[in-house]
Amino acid sequence: MLDQTIGTAEEQGVGSRIKSAEEKITRAGETVERLRRKVTNTVEDKYDDARRAIRRGRHAAEDLVDEASYRIKRDPLNSVAITFGVGLGMGVLIGWFMKRDRE
C-alpha cells in the first residue's frame, strides 16, 4: 500500500511537471508568435516608408528638371554662361588635381 502511495505521488509530481512544461512551451510559442507579428509589422512599415521616400525623391527630381527647363527657356544666354562657367571651373579643378598627383 505504501508503495502504491509513493508511486501515485511520484506520478502526480511527474504529471504536474509535464503540465508545467506544457504551459511554459505554450507561453513561449505565444511569445514567439507575438514577436513574429511585431517584426513583420515593423518590416512592412519600413518598406512602406522606403517606398514613400523613393516616390518623394522621384517627384523632387522631376520638379528640379521642370524648373531647370523653365529657367533655360526663360533665359537661355544666362543658362549657357552658367554652364560654361561651371564646365571651365570643373576643368581647372580637375587639371589642378591631376597636376598635383604627378608631383
pLDDT tens digits for range 71-102: 999 999 999 999 999 999 999 999 999 988 77
- What band does 3 get if pLDDT is binned at 50, 70 and 90? very low
Confidence of residue 1 (pLDDT cuts 50, 70, 90): very low
Could you say which DSSP state residue 43 is in? H
- The phi and psi torsions of 75 (rounded to 5 degrees) equal -140, 80
- The yes-or-no verdict on residue 11 having pLDDT over 70 is no
CA distances to 62, 63, 89 from 76, in Å: 20, 19, 20
Burial 9-32 (b: 16+ CB within 10 A, else e): eeeeeeeeeeeeeeeeeeeeeeee
Is the pTM higher than 0.85? no
Closest by CA position to 52, among listed 64, 60, 63: 60
Cβ neighbour number for residue 96 with a 10 Å cutoff: 10
Regarding predicted confidence, which is higher, 11 or 53?
53
